[in-house]
Structure 1
Amino acid sequence: RKSTPYAAQMAAEQAARRAMEHGVRKVDVMVKGPGSGRETAIRSVQNTGIEVTGIKDVTPVPHNGCAKFVERFGADAMKFVNSPVGKELCLRGINAKVVQPGTIRTGDRITKL
């Protein structure tokens, strides 16, 4: 079955092997949705010799119904996501949370993984 930890492990190992064949040595992992296979998949990537530099949970977070983007996120967010940089990053519609904490300060540069 495809929704088991074993299936997640096998899929992650296969993806990691293919990435290594193309010279990838470090990765940022993005996980989506609940399930027991998340940690198994991350461990299997680490066991192949690829360094996992970050883990990001991008599970969709429900909100209180549809609202206009500006009402939910503010005018500054609207300007940013519609700027050339924001459009390139495709940030609209992505809800994310920090999985590995760190210090973030005003003025720090943020990149999409």
Structure 2
Amino acid sequence: MAVTSADRADALFHALSDRTRRDILRRVLVGEHSVSALAAGYDMSFAAVQKHVAVLERAGLLTKRRHGREQLASGDVEAVRSVASMLEELEAVWRGRIDRIDALLTEEN
């Protein structure tokens, strides 16, 4: 089954909807971290952090690579830029709607 741009947007925004995942993403955008080092920073199990990392990876916001026994995670800046671009498009739509409402209100006065 082909992944549509709507599916991609859903995956990205779902991944970013969780505070812990946003924090993990911030950390791996700064630099590569092992999943165990990431897990040490949270008051939850390693498995729970691993699940958060997996959601971010499926959304394409981070990548993992194996280095010996460790899995190293790093953020994908281009994926974050694509989220920003999607938000800018939505903002443009709403700004256009607000401008049209303003124009209608001005015409009525």
Q: TM-score range by the shorter chain?
A: under 0.3
TM-score (norm 1): 0.25
TM-score by length of 2: 0.26
**Which structure has more helix as a fraction of its residues?**
2
| Structure number, greater radius of gyration | 2
